[in-house]
Amino acid sequence: MLRARTFAATAMLSFLMAACGHHVGPRPGQLSLGMVTDVGGLGDRSFNDSAYRGLLRARDQLGAYVEVLQSRSAADYQPNIEALTNQRVDMTFAIGFLMSTDLDQIARNHPDRHYAIIDAVVDDPNVVSVTFREQDGSFLAGALAAMMSTTKHIAFLGGEDVPLLRKFEAGYTAGAHEVDPSVTVDVKYVGSFDDVAAGQELGNVLYNGGADIIFAAAGTAGLGAINAAKSRSGAYVIGVDSDQDALAPGKILTSMVKHVDVAVFDVARGMQQHRPIAGHLTLGLSDDAIGLTNFTFTRTAIGAARLRRLSAIRRAIIAGKIVPPDTREALAAWKPVAL
Amino acid sequence: MTLALLVTLLTLTVLKATPIIFAALGGTISERSGVVNIGLEGMMAAGAFGAVYATSATGNPVVGVIAGILAGAFFGFVLGVAATRLKVDQIVAGTGINLLCIGGAAYALVVLFHQQGSSPQVASLGTADVWLIVLAFALAIALHAFLWLTPWGLRLRAIGENPRAVLAAGIDPLRVRMLAVTISGALAGLGGAFLSVGELNIYSDGMTAGRGFIALAAVIFGRWTPLGATLAALCFGFFEALQFILQGRVAWLPSDAMQALPYVAAVIALAGATGRVRAPESDGVPF
Amino acid sequence: MKSLMDRARGARGALGALAIALVLITAAMLVAGASPIDGFAALFAGALGGTHQLGETLVQATALLFPALGIALAFRAGLFNIGAEGQLLVGGLAAGALGANVHLAPALAAVIMLGGGALAGGVWGGIAGWLKARFGANEIIATLMLNFIAASLTGYLVAGPLKSSPAGGPETAPLAHAYWLPVLLPYTRLSIALLIALAIAALLHVVLTRTVFGYELRAIGEAPEAARRAGISLQRMALLALASSGAIAGLGGASIVAGELHRFNTQLSPGYGYTAIAVALVGDLDARWICVAAFAFGILETGGLAMQAVANIPKDAIHVIEGVIVVLLAARRYVAARAAIAS
């Protein structure tokens, strides 16, 4: 009993001491940036981590004070954004389309504060909406896969079957058909962004089904598909979001990189230069926010001819000659464009 | 259906079933001794993480598998002590262990690997994981034989039915239960290690993805016998494999319905189990 | 009537748990290389440092209080309802679907949503109760399996039939502003759901201590054989206990939808139904102490979220602490029992 009381007393003491501790916060005049992750949280080696890199770059290059709040459930989004708002950070980044409803409400209640949201459009004068033309980068990935496939059979592996992932799926399929309309594109979804084993198993199912290249847009579960490619000769996989090429050198054809970090940093820089960006930013190939990696390990395997054709396609997308579809409906109506 | 597709379906069934078989065998032996092991999911996560950590430290995935077994056994032992010596309610302790293991692995990733979310890639058993698959089926047969053909198996089952009678025969039921739950944890840990360094080469948060709970369902669906639980695990593995293969081919089949299938099957088995086969009499009852 | 001794035990339980949690958090911060002073400053400021923070803490406490009360009701009847998570989900879905599709006077709509949520949770708990009563099925396994079925079912419904819009996430359409539960604390999202939860707590306390139903519930929990001989139907009580337990959890899910989220989303709960088991146990299965315990856990949950930014502790580490608390508290009963024998 005595021991229990000492235990409680020590705990209480440290608690009280803590209560008198110093509060950390931005210095006067320092740019302060807040970020709310979605339920994937930091460490997803993908979306949230990429946004965090942009924030850290703002800290290092712009001298900004940064604060990150992670969300455990959808119910955490609103309080997290509110908390940063109440700390009067100069700009709060909401990372993920699921936060759009909550951000819209908060932004209307605080017209004097600035916000940014990634992957969704929130129509308020004090919100910057950043979306990416994932279909453009995926289109290039599909085109490359179709050129490289020896079986004329490629595949797409998504995490969860949600509209955002269908942008990848539609762009990839159209890109393949741009190169060769006879290429077969198998499509499967893991049903989770976490289940690495299922990612690997589905990767094997797709390879066994005849596909020799898989575009794995499945978060952590995609690491399983990369594993599946490793043990097969003649098989490639395409990574996603971050540059994953070094995870399996030579086996990862390229990664379809989505530079959330670039977007976060650019918006932060705008804030610092007292010209906050508002409205809707759609970032794509020409902004270097979306694109393929520079083929460090696969350049020779791909060859100069294919790379030339790929950059022709890239220029055609930027010029608006090719408009990659971003939904299954748009894909069904889409026709290859003669270049 | 082509022959190649059939082969894929069957190999995938076995692959999906193997970690569930290990955990379900653990669940069976534990429940036969009278302790419901709700903590299987957490023990699998502990095994998966332990295996990756030991493999990363030694470079040898076999050491990793052993570490995974030990990690699972440790938490099985904790549950065993809690449920027998400390008379803590089994369900409460098992729930606590799930929270502890899954949260603990996430925390340990930060402390030991200095990164959140997932571990770096480590060495893996590669194709040698087939031996673990063989082991799963061998263990199922061995455990079945042990429970029904040996005097110790009879005693274990008797403890699950009526521990007092066994005590009268001069055996300490608590000690046997503690041992059974520890073995249960070891098997769940082995299932986790199979996932992380057998089939894969990584630990990532949430990678057990409810397999421990499916194993719990397999125990019931398999009517508290090792071969029954194995068959149930194969059944669940088959439906998941089927879902993987049919996806994109059959549009009307919602994947959520497929995912719910093992649990619905378990609930139906619970309802259908009356009169014919039932849970051990003292399953879940402290002694 | 509980003795003074029992009350003291309840108070010690909640305080002891809080103390253990604080020590564990300190250790976790030290191991992760963070300063406990800064960490606790963040925890304290994040949970209680202002109106907004207090409001958030009470929102978390409310979300835990409903399922914890439901769990306590079932536990007192000797039934392990670990299905509060699933009951909460179906309750939330029912409220979200009703709110998005009915067009009524706001007050009536709120009643329909909360009532629908309670009904859905009650049915979900009732399924396990019926399996228990009709087939003697183990309610632990049944309620656990029903959690997963609830997750799949609600996931399927909001991805398909009840989806808000073709482009939206897995959620129902947002509720009309008029349907939101009134805000209790200005400038926070704390709604009158807190008052409803406290009313349920008071009601549960009265029912358990002052009514025949409550007496019968405790009787089947404490001495089932004697209860049966006294003419209480164990089957009927099991069904009623699990159904009402589920109804309270379902009401909790509905109040999250009507009070704070204003739509149903599959990621509505970070595991409230599981954490609530710990809350119910910390509160000694006594409605009054459960209110205190829910507040303490609200501090931990809200402050923990603020703390992670400062102390580099992953959000899941809070689960380790909760897990240890659960096991320790369960062991505490044994220690207390042995001390009683020794004296």
End-to-end CA distance of chain C: 24
Is A134-258+303-333 assigned to CATH 3.40.50.2300? yes
Pairing of strands A236-241, A153-158: unpaired
Note whether A133 and A283 are within 8 A (CB).
Answer: yes
Instruction: Give the span between the Cα atoms of C199 and C193, in whole angstroms.
Output: 10
Whether residue C8 has pLDDT greater than 60? no
Task: State the DSSP string of C49-96.
Answer: SSHHHHHHHHHHHHHHHHHHHHHHHHHHTT-----HHHHHHHHHHHHH
CB-based contact (8 Å) between C41 and chain A? yes
Least Cα distance to B222 among B57, B74, B21 occurs for: B21
Instruction: For residue B283, give Cα distances in angstroms to A239, B96, B184, B280, C255.
Output: 48, 19, 15, 5, 37
CB-based contact (8 Å) between B103 and chain C? yes
pLDDT band of C26, cuts 50, 70, 90: confident
Q: Which of A2, A13, A15, A20 to mutate to test the interface with C (most CBs of C within 10 A)?
A: A15
CB-based contact (8 Å) between C223 and chain B? no
Can you give the three-state secondary structure of A253-265, one letter per residue?
EEEEEECHHHHHH
Burial of A58 (0-12, 13-18, 19+ CB in 10 A): buried
CB-based contact (8 Å) between B153 and chain C? no
Q: What are residue A186's phi and psi, to 5 degrees?
A: -85, 145
> In this complex, do B256 and C153 lie within 8 Å of one another by their Cβ atoms?
yes
Is A29-132+261-287 assigned to CATH 3.30.70.2190? no
Mean pLDDT along residues C164-189: 81
CA B131 to chain centroid, in Å, comes to: 18
What pLDDT, on the 0 to 100 scale, is given for residue C165?
Answer: 67
Whether residue A276 has pLDDT greater than 70? no
Instruction: For residue A222, give Cα distances in angstroms to B209, B270, C25, C337.
Output: 15, 36, 34, 52
pLDDT band of C17, cuts 50, 70, 90: low
What pLDDT, on the 0 to 100 scale, is given for residue B40?
Answer: 96
What pLDDT, in 10s, does the model give residues B149-197? 999 999 999 998 888 888 888 888 899 999 999 999 999 999 999 999 9
What pLDDT, on the 0 to 100 scale, is given for residue C38?
Answer: 79
Of C26 and C69, the one with more pLDDT: C69
Instruction: Give the span between the Cα atoms of A196 and B235, in whole angstroms.
Output: 21
Q: Which domains does chain C have, with CATH numbers?
A: 4-342 (1.10.3470)
* pLDDT above 70 coverage of chain B, percent: 94
Whether residue C5 has pLDDT greater than 60? no
Instruction: For residue C268, give Cα distances in angstroms to A76, A78, A192, C86, C310.
Output: 9, 12, 17, 11, 25
Whether residue A21 has pLDDT greater than 50? no
CA of B195 vs chain A CAs: smallest distance (Å) = 7
Highest mean pLDDT, choosing among A302-311, C102-111, C138-147 = A302-311
Of C311 and C135, the one with more pLDDT: C135
Instruction: For residue B79, give Cα distances in angstroms to A22, A328, B21, B86, B90.
Output: 41, 50, 20, 10, 7
Q: How many CB atoms lie within 10 A of CB B90?
A: 29
Least Cα distance to A250 among A134, A148, A136 occurs for: A148
Integer-rounded Cα Rg, in Å, for chain B is: 19
Instruction: Give the span between the Cα atoms of B143 and B26, in whole angstroms.
Output: 10
Q: Which domains does chain B have, with CATH numbers?
A: 3-272 (1.10.3470)
What pLDDT, on the 0 to 100 scale, is given for residue C261?
Answer: 86
Highest mean pLDDT, choosing among B236-245, C74-83, C121-130 = C121-130
Q: Which of C90, C143, C148 to mutate to test the interface with B (most CBs of B within 10 A)?
A: C148
Q: Which of A150-154, A210-214, C330-334 has the lowest mean pLDDT?
A: C330-334
Residues of B in contact with A188 (CB under 8 A): 244, 247-248
> In this complex, do B12 and A204 lie within 8 Å of one another by their Cβ atoms?
yes
Mean pLDDT along residues B33-44: 94
Note whether C34 and C312 are within 8 A (CB).
Answer: yes
CB-based contact (8 Å) between B5 and chain A? yes
Locus of tokens 């993920």: A96
Picking from C82, C319, C323, the nearest residue to B91 by CB comes out as: C82
What pLDDT, in 10s, does the model give residues B61-104? 999 999 999 999 999 999 999 888 877 778 778 888 998 899 89
Q: Which of A82-91, A115-124, A222-231, A252-261 has the lowest mean pLDDT?
A: A82-91
**CATH 3.40.50.2300 residue ranges in chain A?**
29-132+261-287, 134-258+303-333
CB-based contact (8 Å) between C337 and chain A? no
CB-based contact (8 Å) between C166 and chain B? no
Picking from C16, C52, C169, the nearest residue to A82 by CB comes out as: C52
Q: What is the mean pLDDT of chain C?
A: 85
Burial B3-39 (b: 16+ CB within 10 A, else e): eeeeebbebbbbbbbbbbbbbbbbbbbbbbbbbbbbb
